Amino acid sequence: MTRQRDEGKRKRKRQHTCVKNKFEKLQLTEKNKEDDNRNSDEKVTVTRLTLSCTKREEFYDKFLNYESIENYLRKMKQNYPDTIDIIELGKSKQGKSIYLIAITEDLEFTSSNEPKFATFIEAGLNGEDIFAVSNALFIIDYLCKNPNIVKVMDYFIVPCSNPDAYEMFIKDNIEKTSSETAKLTCPNVKNSKRSNDASSKIRNTKTNKAENKNSIQTDLTLNFPVILGVNNMKQIPSDLFIEKIKVWKENFDCSCPETIALIKGIFSYQFAIKLFISLREGGEFISYPFGFTSNITLMHDCIKQVAQKGKFAIKQRNFQCGTINELQGLVYGHLIDFLKLEKASMKFLYNIHVHKPISNYEDELKNIISYGCQIMECIQRMSITVFKTYTDMVGNKKVETEYIKFRRD
């Protein structure tokens, strides 16, 4: 009995030892796992990935001089040869080329073939509207990189209509003083002869600069023919009429090569143009004809509706829309007024004032991209709306036969 009892105790002790060992082994395993996890957490490293991105264009954060604009347009032609074409409309007074940029799916369009509808965009009639020119360059860049948009309408764009005044404004207000001028005005010149030569050069430079400024017309926004007598002018006070017509008369130059080139470009593609837009500055609004009278009944409210579509696309800013006369008062010589009376088939004509008057251009460089996106969205909405008004649900083109009616109250 004693032997059996001792043997049972030893057996139970062995079982207990075996269970204990298994438990300790399990604890050690769990501890090792925790240590491994802790060590792995401590050894976690972050690898920085270098992602490729779209190359920023030069005009994204600076205002380009006219030579840089020409180089940019040539580069776009080289990069997108099947989408973009560069057409020279004429020369400025100082011999700078004035370009029209055609962006389309098919560059073989002609006036004899049935064309797609087109949107014509002009910018920079006022040489000081450098933000408008930057917006035009942004639109060219956007359309080339997003070709699906031109499947609906073609785009004809004159990015800088007044290159002489634009170049002069860039040099006088944006670019830094050249090193050559700095050397001429250096006070440490000891040689009196060199000093006299430098002084004469400065005087000649100032004289030439003044002559160039006198020959350059900075603002061409009102340099277009006026047609009187198409509205009831008795309602306009005589003193106001004389004041406004005098402003137009003193600025009008019928032989101005810049306006002649622009009109040539517009009339060359009038068979396709259904939407015309002039980009300007001096406010944040969209205006449409007319400026010389308020007593006009338009055949359709769709002209105002197209402007409202563009206005609602710009959500970040408080844009307005209305006739030129409503927003700016009595004005003579606007391009869209001239086109509306000269070619009644161009029904949808607008001025888009892209920016309020600017006091510090350096502070506005950061807004070039955001404002460009807003104006592009605005124009795209307007283009789609115009396209829909000229087509039915099947896509058949309508023939516009309505004309303008003036109230002669």
Q: In the 3-class helix/strand/coil scheme, how is 64-106 assigned residue by residue?
A: CCHHHHHHHHHHHHHHCCCCEEEEEEEECCCCCEEEEEEECCC
Mean pLDDT for the chain overall:
77
| DSSP H helices in 252-323 | 257-268, 302-313
277-285: average pLDDT:
93
pLDDT confidence of 202, banded at 50, 70, 90? very low
CA 36 vs CA 23, 29, 44, 68, 217: distances in Å: 20, 10, 12, 61, 79
Question: Taking 70 as the threshold, does the pLDDT of residue 364 lie above it?
Answer: yes
State pLDDT tens for residues 87-110.
Answer: 999 999 999 999 999 998 766 654
Q: Return d(Cα 32, Cα 93) in angstroms, integer.
A: 86
Question: Taking 90 as the threshold, does the pLDDT of residue 380 lie above it?
Answer: yes
- Which pLDDT value is given to residue 344? 55
Q: Which residue has the higher pLDDT, 195 or 391?
A: 391
Lowest-confidence pick of 148-157, 206-215, 331-340: 206-215
The gap from C-alpha 300 to its chain's centroid, in whole angstroms, comes to: 29
pLDDT confidence of 358, banded at 50, 70, 90? confident
- Count helices and strands in the chain by DSSP H and E runs: 13, 10
For residue 322, with 0-12 CB atoms within 10 Å meaning exposed, 13-18 middle and 19 or more buried, which class applies? middle
376-382: average pLDDT:
93
- Which pLDDT value is given to residue 199? 45
Q: Which residue has the higher pLDDT, 188 or 230?
A: 230
**CB neighbours of 104 closer than 8 A, spacing ≥ 6?**
83, 85, 116, 118, 150, 154, 155
Tokens for 45, please give them: 């490293």
Contact 403, 299 (CB under 8 A): yes
Q: Which residues pair with 86 in a beta bridge?
A: 101
HSE on the CB side for 227, CA within 13 Å? Answer: 12
